[in-house]
């Protein structure tokens, strides 16, 4: 069963001068109530830059 409206899309333009590892996490803030939801989920992205 499709979950319409249950996702979001984000784009980031980043430049990496050297190899590195980035860790991402997502928190949501309700703009009206200022309530914060912490997802508790992280993702690790390893960037390999060759010279």
Predicted local confidence at residue 19, as pLDDT: 96
Predicted local confidence at residue 23, as pLDDT: 94
Span between the terminal Cα atoms of the chain, in Å: 46
Structure tokens at 20: 């590195």
Single out the residue of 41, 45, 51, 42 nearest to residue 20, CA to CA.
45
Predicted local confidence at residue 6, as pLDDT: 74
The model carries a pTM of 0.52
* 51 residues of the chain, pLDDT tens digit each: 566 777 778 888 989 999 999 999 988 899 899 999 998 889 999 999 997
CA dihedral angle for residue 27, residue 25, residue 10, residue 35, rounded to 10 degrees: 0
């Amino acid at each position: 069963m499709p979950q319409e409206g249950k996702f979001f899309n984000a784009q980031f333009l980043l430049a990496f001068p050297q190899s590195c590892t980035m860790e991402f996490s997502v928190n949501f803030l309700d703009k009206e109530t200022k309530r914060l939801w912490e997802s508790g989920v992280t993702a690790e992205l390893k960037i390999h830059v060759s010279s």
